[in-house]
Amino acid sequence: MVSFVLQNKKLFDGIELVGTGTTGGHIENAGFVITKLLSGPLGGDAQIAAMVAEGNLDAVIFFRDPLDKHPHEPDVQMLMRLCDVHNVPLATNPATAQYLLEGMVE
């Protein structure tokens, strides 16, 4: 995620970023301003899902490893479901995130 954000630094200019604790900390250390929530396994994914449900996010970029099981997988599935329910664009891989980001800033 940090690599993606760094590669697209200009596109992220002016976008308010929100992230889970660990990822958000890495992005913050890379020089970005970001609102950090709880770590994913401690409820950060659920916090992002709640923001989606409340209409507080325009899009979600949430990279996940499709070959690995996560202990907070139910929260990840809830986030994905709520993006669908509330018609919020969701990118789960860099290629989709690139299209989404470029489309948002044009």
Q: Which residues are catalytic?
A: 45
Identify residue 41 by its one-letter amino acid code: P
81/88 Cα distance (integer angstroms): 10
- Distance (Å, whole) CA 102 – CA 49: 23
User: Taking the CA atoms of the chain, what radius of gyration do you get in angstroms?
Assistant: 13
Q: Which amino acid is at 55?
A: G
Give the number of other Cβ atoms within 10 Å of residue 35's Cβ: 11
